[in-house]
Amino acid sequence: MRYPHAIIAVLFLALQPCLAQTDYEPSETNQPGKEYPKVDSEGRVKVEVLAPEANKVQLDIGGVKYDLTKNDEGVWTGESAPQEEGFHYYQLNIDGASVPDPGTKYYYGAGRWGSGIEIPATDREIYALKNVPHGRVSEQLYFSNITQAWRRCFVYTPPEYSKDTNTKYPVLYLQHGSFEDETGWASQGKANLILDNLIAENKAVPMIIVMDNGYAYKPQDSSTEGNRRPQSAFEEVLIQEVIPMIDAEYRTKSDRAHRAIAGLSMGANQTMRIIMNNLDKFAYYGGFSGTSNYPTSDKIDTKTFLNGAFDDGKAVEEKIKVFWLGLGTKEPDPFPGSVGAFRDMLEEQGIDHVYYESPETAHEWLTWRRSLYQYAQLLFK
Amino acid sequence: MRYPHAIIAVLFLALQPCLAQTDYEPSETNQPGKEYPKVDSEGRVKVEVLAPEANKVQLDIGGVKYDLTKNDEGVWTGESAPQEEGFHYYQLNIDGASVPDPGTKYYYGAGRWGSGIEIPATDREIYALKNVPHGRVSEQLYFSNITQAWRRCFVYTPPEYSKDTNTKYPVLYLQHGSFEDETGWASQGKANLILDNLIAENKAVPMIIVMDNGYAYKPQDSSTEGNRRPQSAFEEVLIQEVIPMIDAEYRTKSDRAHRAIAGLSMGANQTMRIIMNNLDKFAYYGGFSGTSNYPTSDKIDTKTFLNGAFDDGKAVEEKIKVFWLGLGTKEPDPFPGSVGAFRDMLEEQGIDHVYYESPETAHEWLTWRRSLYQYAQLLFK
């Protein structure tokens, strides 16, 4: 049977409202060979799972639970409202069990290994896997005498590191957020690809990046008995164990002028304390969606805040070559308030800083990928 | 209230049958902070999952599905029969949905990222994380012109590699099995820890290990249209792209006397073909639970098998310094038959080989960890 072109055109127009919702593509975070989940051009997430005997299956993403519907073969399917661009953690709920979607790769965040999905961002080129020279991400195991435990960091070395074996490199220590771990930055954070691309375009100096785990406790401090919050030993581990190990194992420039530190959220808070306690060791700070006055938005008293570390603004200015802060425009409370109060303090103390706003992103990885992209361009220059 | 000691002793004895089943410990493959799954000293696996609205939840391990039972809080729990020692893939079934256990870390095997569990083995010291110098596992991204796709391998460098920057090292190319990928050997395979331990005890020569993905297809061959099995391009990728890249990026001894190749199951089959086609490039072969005559146990005709590669036994003997085969004593058909037929052929051709049997293990990772432990000690000596 053949239809005149005009009729086909009319049919096509009539079907437009349906077609508009059918540009779903398999997500780039899917496991090999898996068709679902899919993402459409407006950021909707569509999932599919076989659960023939289930009563209720939901897609749980962005704080909303979407009911799925079952077909005759026992396959449940459904879609979310449009999501913000970038990376999101999510899960499925099957009769009340919160489980990973068997279709995706898994990421550590929100305190568990679970599903993640990528809504392609307008500026995804900054972290795309491109035909440029690539550095390496290496797993470094070490025994911490301070915590009396085996720990692990990941180390990015730039593309030329293995070729030009006499050159030494500056180092950025880069930390994850709460309920995340040392795997975050080189997985969902794409730190390696961001640097590969920046270095290829001569926008960033080739550098080593060290990504450790911000959770560290001494054996006697690791219990949470009596609701006592355990005392973090991360600063001690980083300063006394990780930095000396990295300087011994890698070809680093080991003076303060060639060492930077940055972190996201909890990591921004931690690394700000660390740099202010160790100005002899770092010359660059980056706080992505966080500061050490978190969670309050009260005016900061520089006499007491971080033991008066910002009280002599001029001294801070002289020591820290780049003081960098970033925030997504859609971040929820208390982040805008506490970062705002911190910036007010810097202003009053006459401490110059760079402030970057990530358009249309929340307290999520696209904010932090963009922050690293911006921040890394200012380092060691 | 106080009881005389005698009564306590009697109570203790009376409770023994119950106590015998209560030595469950959280599995070493659990996510941080997760109590379940647990493993007992007899190899039982006990799982727990919250699924208040579910009708039926099962633990699916070792080819058997065990029904769980629900308590008043909607928590399902249950245990398996004793499992063999070593690493096993498994999953949960929640109302017919096969999903990862949210308690464990995830591993790529059986064609999916999913749960894995470790039953502590009697000889677990060979792959334990010990206080010895540790090498690094690095992720190497590369664009393959042959497959027109980005690919990835993991590269183990021995502990001293970063210190003594003039030394060159021999290289072992080590392949995974079917439905696994390049992550397997340095994750559930523990190849890095096995080598760290062997090197620390001077039982193995320090070596580089390259773990690539055995699935590789040219763009025109990647479809499975009309049930046509796509033609593997892995040999071309390994020989023409991976080996030259590794020799350029790492400090390797790049002659055949310092290059070995081994694989497990599908990887044993693949790497046997590769070495016999490239005797100018490799001097050592390891086949863990596999050979290229798989799956048949028929007598091998050396005139036709692998294009006559074994027909001149003396020439093979001269070229291959160690020809190594391993198998678990509990491996199912067709592995014992096809490996047996292959060994008969070697015998008839007068080709010397090492044959290792892993006690009480099946077609699983403990067989392959032990195989690597044995094989690596014979290399490059």
pLDDT in tens, B189-206: 999 999 999 999 999 999
* Test mutation, A77, A94, A165, chain B, max B CBs within 10 A: A94
CA dist., res. A342 & res. A336, Å (int): 10
CA dist., res. A43 & res. A36, Å (int): 14
pLDDT band at A11 (very low <50, low <70, confident <90, very high): very low
pLDDT of A80 > 70? The answer is yes
Q: What is the ipTM of this complex?
A: 0.92
CA dist., res. A314 & res. A162, Å (int): 40
* Test mutation, B141, B196, B250, chain A, max A CBs within 10 A: B141
CA dist., res. A14 & res. A91, Å (int): 36
pLDDT band at B263 (very low <50, low <70, confident <90, very high): very high
DSSP character for A240?
I
**How confident is the model at residue B12, as a pLDDT?**
47
How many Cβ atoms sit within 10 Å of the Cβ of residue A1? 2
Helix (H), strand (E) at residue A371: helix A365-376
Residue B208, φ and ψ in degrees, nearest 5:
-90, 140
First-to-final CA distance of chain A: 69
Decide if A114 and B129 are in contact by the 8 Å CB cutoff: no
| DSSP labels, A180-217 | --TTTTTTTT-HHHHHHHHHHTTSS---EEEE--S--B
Q: What contacts A49, CB < 8 A, 6 or more positions away?
A: A36, A57, A68, A75, A76, A77, A92, A94, A101, A102, A103, B97
Report yes or no: B108 and B184 within 8 Å, Cβ to Cβ.
yes
Residue B110 zone, left/alpha/beta (φ > 0; ψ -120 to 50; rest) = left
A214 in B contact zone (CB under 8 Å): no
Helix (H), strand (E) at residue B14: helix B5-19
Chain centroid offset of residue A350 CA = 30
> Across residues B151-155, what is the average pLDDT?
98
Q: Which of A355, A286, A288 is nearest to A321 (CA)?
A: A286
Q: How many CA atoms lie within 13 A of B347 on its CB side?
A: 8
Decide if A112 and B162 are in contact by the 8 Å CB cutoff: no
List Cα–Cα distances, B109 to A305, B43, B185, in angstroms. 51, 21, 11
- Residues B101-143: tens digit of each pLDDT: 999 999 999 999 999 999 999 999 999 999 999 999 999 999 9
A72 in B contact zone (CB under 8 Å): no
A33 in B contact zone (CB under 8 Å): yes
In sequence order, the β-bridge partners of residue A112 are A109
pLDDT band at A16 (very low <50, low <70, confident <90, very high): very low
- Residues A88-140: tens digit of each pLDDT: 999 999 999 999 999 999 999 999 999 999 999 999 999 999 999 999 999 99
CA dist., res. B335 & res. B341, Å (int): 10
Is the bond into A295 cis (omega within 30 degrees of 0)?
yes
CA dist., res. A255 & res. A249, Å (int): 16
> Across residues A346-372, what is the average pLDDT?
98
Decide if B54 and A95 are in contact by the 8 Å CB cutoff: yes
pLDDT of A1 > 80? The answer is no
Burial classification of residue A25, based on how many CB atoms lie within 10 Å of its CB (0-12 exposed, 13-18 middle, 19 or more buried) = exposed
Q: Give domain A125-376's CATH architecture.
A: 3-Layer(aba) Sandwich (3.40)
**How confident is the model at residue A145, as a pLDDT?**
98
CA dist., res. B14 & res. B39, Å (int): 24
- Residues A207-232: tens digit of each pLDDT: 999 999 999 999 976 655 555 668 99
Place of tokens 């005392």: A231
- How far is A274 from chain B, CA to nearest CA, in Å? 25
Decide if B136 and A131 are in contact by the 8 Å CB cutoff: no
Q: Which CATH superfamily is domain A23-120 in?
A: Immunoglobulins (2.60.40.10)
pLDDT of B339 > 50? The answer is yes
* % pLDDT > 70, chain A: 92
Q: At what angle do helices B365-376 and B191-200 cross, to 10 degrees?
A: 30
pLDDT band at B223 (very low <50, low <70, confident <90, very high): low
Q: Choose among A95, A137, A150: nearest Cβ to B94.
A: A95
Which residue of chain B comes nearest to A135, CA vs CA? Answer: B140
Q: Rounded mean pLDDT of chain B?
A: 94
Helix (H), strand (E) at residue A95: none
Decide if B97 and A50 are in contact by the 8 Å CB cutoff: yes
B200 in A contact zone (CB under 8 Å): no
pLDDT band at B227 (very low <50, low <70, confident <90, very high): low
Report yes or no: A288 and A260 within 8 Å, Cβ to Cβ.
no
CA dist., res. A5 & res. B57, Å (int): 55
Report yes or no: A275 and A251 within 8 Å, Cβ to Cβ.
no
Alpha helices in A101-174 (DSSP H): none
- Residues A25-39: tens digit of each pLDDT: 999 999 999 999 999
CA dist., res. B136 & res. B191, Å (int): 11
Domain ranges within chain B, ordered by starting residue: 25-120, 125-376
Decide if B54 and A96 are in contact by the 8 Å CB cutoff: yes
Q: At what angle do helices A191-200 and A365-376 cross, to 10 degrees?
A: 30
- Residues B6-40: tens digit of each pLDDT: 444 444 444 444 444 579 999 999 999 999 999 99
- How far is A58 from chain B, CA to nearest CA, in Å? 12
- How far is A308 from chain B, CA to nearest CA, in Å? 36
More reliable by pLDDT, B4 or B326: B326
pLDDT of A380 > 80? The answer is yes
Q: Give domain B25-120's CATH architecture.
A: Sandwich (2.60)
CA dist., res. B250 & res. B206, Å (int): 14
First-to-final CA distance of chain B: 70
**How confident is the model at residue B1, as a pLDDT?**
40
CA dist., res. B80 & res. B183, Å (int): 28
Decide if A131 and B143 are in contact by the 8 Å CB cutoff: yes
- Residues B315-332: tens digit of each pLDDT: 999 999 999 999 999 999
3-state secondary structure of B188: coil
CA dist., res. B200 & res. B196, Å (int): 6
Q: How many CA atoms lie within 13 A of A296 on its CB side?
A: 7
- Residues A279-303: tens digit of each pLDDT: 999 999 999 999 999 999 999 999 9
**How confident is the model at residue A370, as a pLDDT?**
98
DSSP character for B74?
S
Q: Choose among B102, B139, B141: nearest Cβ to A99.
A: B102
